[in-house]
Structure 1
Amino acid sequence: MPETTTSPANQVSQRGRNPRVPTRLLVLGLLFVITVILYAGRGSLSITGDDMADDLGFSTVQLGYVFSAFGWSYVLAQLPGGILLDRFGARGVYTASIVLWTLATAAIGLVGLMTTPVLVALAAVFLLRLLLGAFESPALPANARVVTMWFPTAERGWATAVFTSAQYLATAMFAPVMGWVTHEFGWRWVFVLLGACGVVPAMIWIRWMRSPTRHPRVSHAELDHMESGGALVGLDDVLTGLDDTAEPARTAEGGVPAAVDSVDRPSPGTGGAEPRPARLDRWTVRRILSARPLWGVYVSQYAINALTYFFITWLPVYLVRARGLSLLETGLTAAIPALSGLLGGLLGGWVSDRLIRRGFSLTAARKTPSVIGMSLVLPLVLCTLTDSTGLILTILAIAFFGKGLGALGWAITTDIAPPRAASFVGGTMNAVGNAAGIVTPVVIGYTLSVTGSFDAALWFVGAHGLLALCGFAIMGEIHRIRLEPR
């Protein structure tokens, strides 16, 4: 019998026929795994920092600057990273990001293998952390871009909560492992381990990932569900010639490419998507930056990230120096607030989306868990009033549960960003938010150097809960930024 051939379009239709597990959930799972590895590498110095400082001869202030190095380049690279994502899409940019940050992480383990002056070792670690920050800069904006494409508005809060909660699971999973590896084999092997962990996700991402309209596993029913609910399924497909997949784009009724159709027509639940401007010019940037909700996100995200950077830099050092825990005990103990943050993050996204489905406004649905969560951060300052390690861990667990509950900044960003500048908005928000990664480690380093105590540092960190609440007040009504014709 002659061999039967099937056209590429039919292949897409056949392979995308009603899978048991929706493809968007597999995409979210892959984002989650990648983000866990990302945050494990970002927070690796919190476990290895004391041993590295002793080995290489760093002072407390120098260690604070090493902690902050990541933040400097991460902030500066957000805008170019966002522009690259808007220009080339998430698939290729994210692949390059994963490969490069993996190499930079592994290279830290090579510093000081031979006798090296302290300042040379300091410069080498500082430079590698700068590179790590630059290479990771497109990651979270890419996550937000992918979630915007793959998830309807009423599922987006939970989806963004899943990938942002990866930071807590990273600590819960990797902190005990990194503590044990450092204790048994030395701090260098932690970076070798983390470098190896990034290889497989990079290979899976580049081979499997596609946009919703081009993915062979997506059924027409799932595509309709996403698009009718406000997912911008064609966001990357307007980048002509840049998604070089062998699969053709799906077409809407009448032969109109779904990629273009989904961007240019109004989408339910989002307030519509305005016609694409020809370029991200000065007028467009001014229009975006004049939006009140975006400035509220800037303030709240900065405050939330200050808590994050305390958690992934100085918290383990606090447990060792102020509470007298061993490195192994610290790795296990740090998992307690991390798991609390994970629970809070998943609950916050679920509650927010459930409020939307029950008819609450987008503003009420996003702000309610955010305000409750950041109010739970304020008691963090009570750690200065007790010597009980158990009570301190309880307070930390409550505070980081609240931080997770209130960390809906990425969900709000996907709600307000205009489609043509989605990654630009995400990049600027991430840049402002991660300025906390520069300020927080350095301020705490100097505070410890001057006072010799963590009390002032804990007051400094706890005050950011109040700052986050101010950000939610500034935000006003949450709505998508419209780019009206000039």
Structure 2
Amino acid sequence: MDAVTQQQLGSSSMKLSRGSRVRFGILMVISVSTAINYLDRANLAIVAPALSADLRLDAAQTGLLFSAFSWTYAILQIPAGWLIDKVGAKLAFGYALIAWSLATCAIGLARGFGVLFGLRLALGAAEAPAFPANSALVASWFPKKERGTATAAYTAGEYVGLAVATPVLAAVATALGWQSVFYLCGGLGLAWAVVWLTRIRNTPKGHPRVSPEEMRLLADGGAVVDTPKHDRASWSDVLRLLRHRRMIGILIGQFAISSTLFFFLTWFPSYLVRAKHFTLLNAGFMASIPYIMALIGVFFAGSWSDRMLKRGTSVNVARKAPIITGLVGASVIVLANFTDDPALIITIMSLAFFAQGMSAISWSLVADIAPVGKFGVTGGLFNFIGNVGGIVSPLVIGYIVELTGSFVGGIGYVAVVAAVGALAYIFLVDNVERLQTN
């Protein structure tokens, strides 16, 4: 700890002598921002039945629109990680939020497949810095024993936004047209960008409201409280990460986690309407139930993981057990192929998405294993591979539906990929500890 940090520890405001909790305010801003992030990538799924009918798009074209987001999002993950390591999470995420909100508004103006496809590519490019930035902030603002819960909190933002907004946006689309959904979501993001840019700090060091007690808690608990020095960005950083077996296992697991997630973010409402004959409005309300269950799942997994750590369980077990349990549980989605009962379908999907939510705390591993000064590029690589799943999953499901006229094969694909992800964590991920790449 350098002299500046020592001075902060010794002379911070007396009015915060009881110990500040600034990190939780930072986490709140991250969580709301993540909710907006996921709402803007998933709102297409909510209005897809109406939009596809209006613009006369077939299932393959709809699948391409769902997948297009992930093409640029995935490709730009590693460059986005370098950007975060260079300029910091605050600016990288803040300006990205403005850019993707403008792209969201523009989607409401689109009147053809080509324009929609281009805007979905732009949306994916703009959102690329989001999750690597989140991971970098958690590594700086939370000690290891709180990272599972912190990761669960911002990851839960994915599901909170969708659980609350899915029925609301379905009602808005029914009443005002599908275009209004994009105007509403984009405007919300532009307003929130002001909050992000004024409230977020990259690290606790120098923050005027961080007390000596909180700074000591963070520093002693393994948080990166000062801005680390960064080497020049290089593809060799990526190659060095890929030499580690545990990194390969985590990447395979993230491909599986994202493949399951992207079914719910893209095809799920259309699945309810086209395969199970729900109305758009009913699908919007019923689809919110699995999102709520996923929210519960991610908080359950985060708190379970951190409780195990506090009780002395090894970090290997504490981090991996919820993820493996979640991936195995997500494979129960295949049972939906054997019933047409609406209540049973929603129950199965809720259980599968609860389990998927559990596995989503995998982002806590990035904060745990990323080399110091390489949080951005590690998170970028992690999210790149995950979003290859986001590219593949909607396309595979779309083409299966187009070729067979049924979702049966698509649901089976999701279940198999989830099981493979669980096996990768069991057999490839060994010690959960910070990687050395020098």
Assess same fold via TM > 0.5. yes
Note closer, same or farther for the CA distance 1:358–1:303 as it changes in structure 2 (3 Å cut). Answer: same
Distance 1:316 1:219, change over 3 A: same
**Corresponding pairs, count:** 430
- One of 209, 215, 240 as aligned partner of 1:217: 209
Between the aligned partners of 2:381 and 2:221, the Cα distance in structure 1 is 26
- TM-fit CA distance, 1:404: 1.1
Correspondence for 1:400 among 342, 353, 370:
353
Given that 1:102 and 1:195 are in contact with CA atoms closer than 8 Å, whether structure 2 keeps it comes out as: yes
Larger radius of gyration, structure 1 or 2?
Answer: 1
Match of 2:80 in 1: 81
Distance 1:16 1:124 in 2: 55
Q: Deviations over 1:209-235 (max 9, x none)?
A: 22211211111110110110001111x
Partner of 1:252: none
Tell me by how many angstroms 1:279 deviates: 3.3
Q: Deviations over 1:399-447 (max 9, x none)?
A: 1111111222211111110011111010001000101111111111111
Counterpart in the other structure of 2:97: 98
Tell me the equivalent position of 1:457.
410
Over 3 Å counting, the alpha-carbon distance change for 1:281 and 1:111 in structure 2 is closer
Match of 2:114 among 98, 109, 123: 123
How far the C-alpha of 1:293 sits from its partner, in A, is 1.4
The equivalent of 2:50 in structure 1 is: 51
Q: Which amino acid aligns with 1:127?
A: G
Q: CA deviation at 1:52?
A: 1.1
Measured against aligned partners, the alpha-carbon deviations of 1:84-139 in whole angstroms (never above 9, x if no partner) come to: 00011111111111000000001000112xxxxxxxx1111111110110110000
Structure 2 unaligned residues grouped into runs of 5+ = 1-6
More deviation in 321-330 or 81-90? 321-330
1:310 and 2:263 are equivalent in the alignment: yes
Paired with 1:33 and 1:16, the residues of 2 have a C-alpha distance of: 28
* 1:340-371 CA distance string (max 9 Å, x none): 11001001011111111111111111111112
Structure 2 counterpart of 1:152: 143
Is the counterpart of residue 361 in structure 1 residue 361 in structure 2? Answer: no
Residues 1:228 and 2:220 aligned together: yes
Aligned AA (1:33): V
CA–CA distance in structure 1, aligned partners of residues 97 and 18 of structure 2: 28
The residue aligned with 1:186 is 177
- 2:128 aligned partner: 137
- In structure 2, the CA distance between the partners of 1:12 and 1:163, relative to structure 1 (3 Å rule), is farther
Superposed displacement of residue 286, structure 1: 2.9
Partner Cα distance (2:431, 2:368) in 1: 11
Name the structure 2 match of 1:66: 65
Q: What is the distance in 2 between the residues matched to 1:383 and 1:285?
A: 39
Task: Map Cα deviations across residues 426-481 of structure 1 (whole Å, 9 max, x no partner).
Answer: 00010001011111111111111111111111111111221111220211222210
Structure-2 residue corresponding to 1:480: 434
Q: How much has 1:238 moved relative to structure 2?
A: 4.1
- Sequence identity (%): 37
Q: CA shift at 1:14, angstroms?
A: 2.3
CA change 1:62–1:15 in 2 (3 A) is farther
TM-score, length basis structure 1: 0.85
Within a 5 Å distance, the mapping from 1:300-449 to structure 2 comes to 300-449=253-402
Partner residue in 1 for 2:3: none
- Partners of 2:17 and 2:295 lie apart in 1 by 31
CA distance in 2, matches of 1:196, 1:19: 39
Paired with 2:262 and 2:300, the residues of 1 have a C-alpha distance of: 22
| Letter paired with 1:377 | A
Aligned partners of 1:141 and 1:427 also within 8 Å: yes
CA distance in 2, matches of 1:455, 1:284: 41
Shift in alpha-carbon separation, 1:55–1:12, aligned structure 2, 3 A? farther
TM-score scaled by structure 2? Answer: 0.95
Change (3 A) 1:199 1:288: same
Distance 1:283 1:332 in 2: 47
Aligned position for 2:30 = 31
CA distance in 2, matches of 1:111, 1:12: 56
More helix by share: 2
Aligned-pair distance for 1:12?
Answer: 8.2
Question: CA–CA distance in 1 between the matches of 2:289 and 2:189?
Answer: 25
Aligned to 1:247: none
Classify 1:453/1:283 alpha carbon distance in 2 versus 1 (closer, same or farther; 3 Å): closer
Contact 1:171 1:334 in 2 (8 A): no
Q: 2:419 aligns with which of 466, 473, 477?
A: 466
Q: CA deviation at 1:308?
A: 0.8
Aligned partners of 2:120, 2:148: CA distance in 1, in Å? 31
For structure 1, the 5+ residue unaligned runs are: 1-7, 113-120, 240-275
Give distance in 1, aligned partners of 2:206 and 2:297. 34
- Report deviation, 1:9: 7.5
> What's the Cα RMSD here?
1.8
